[in-house]
Amino acid sequence: MQLLFPEKPFHWLRHITIAVCLLFVVNLLVIFVPNIRDIFGITGATTAPTLIFILPGLFYIRIIPKNQEPMSSRPKIQAACFTTLGFIFMIMSLTFIGLDWMSGENQSLGGH
């Protein structure tokens, strides 16, 4: 609720509406996604680069004040490159998952 309505005070109707919408989306995923492997693939492809590359770089850029260290300084440029690398990894991973879905071949032979 803080992401969608940061200025508004807590309200039960808004809280329940958001919860019902989230449950509806989760139920749609359960119905339409045939394999849990796909869910874990998408989750891993988005959260791993975000936690490892994107957020640390963005936090460094955001936390260090511009008057103490300008954006053209070497550490901030490195943080921006680190963040960009995270987005590149995320896009590559999601692209490979999409290509795997589009190929339609079942590579799983069981076991490990």
Render pLDDT for 1-46 as a digit per residue (tens, 0 to 9): 777 778 888 889 999 999 999 999 989 988 887 788 888 888 999 9
Instruction: Return the structure tokens found at 15.
Output: 């809280």
Q: Give per-residue pLDDT as tens, 61-94.
A: 999 999 999 999 999 999 999 999 999 999 999 9
86 neighbors 54 (Cβ within 8 angstroms) = yes
Count other Cβ atoms within 10 Å, centred on residue 65: 8
pTM value?
A: 0.68
